[in-house]
A and B are shown apart, each in its own frame.
Chain A
């Protein structure tokens, strides 16, 4: 099973600034990596897949990069609605599909 590790667990950033979230895989997942956003009491929402492809309707301030074992989600010009928990997920080696433990992005 591939273990996904996200860092940091909590990230405090001011509105308007840039946030950088990291995700590491225990072995290569190629570019088969997705990012999700989850707000309290809501279902996860797909942000990014194939490491760097934005899902439908996702604003351009969200960008993803990486391949192999190291991945980054960058959110530029943070807006109030961006403060949430973010999960990465690999879909290269399955079953099981595996998620990171999440990074909580909070307002500084």
Chain B
């Protein structure tokens, strides 16, 4: 069955960096675009970034552009999110999600990893 398992969250000081990972299994990872979506505590969903199945294209929300980098290793079925210059407003649960047919639809989501940016 499809599984997405995020890791790498934790407490980090403002201005520091953190790298999240998402381990995928149960499907052909190299055929799927992948997203990161975040949810601040008690708030709604905010799309963060998407990466094409082959890594050829990547797009970001304005709120993270220039600070976050999405990447993937199709040989290891792993998606990553490098987060630099973290701010308090980046505090959220970060979900990775598989894209349905490269349409921008998250058809399967991991359980998320919590990132807390605080001094």
Contact = CB atoms under 8 A, between A and B. Distances in A.
Interface residues of A, number: 23
Size band of the B side of the interface? 20 to 34
Interface stretch (B11-19, B57-65, B72-80): B57-65
A46 B61 contact: no
Nearest to B95: A43
A76 interface: no
Contact of B100 (A42, A49, A87, A102): A49
A99 B44 contact: yes
Contact of A55 (B44, B62, B104, B107): B107
B59 A102 contact: no
Contacts of A95: 47, 50, 59-61
A98 B46 CA distance: 7
Interface of B: 35, 37, 44-47, 50, 59-62, 95, 97, 100, 103-112
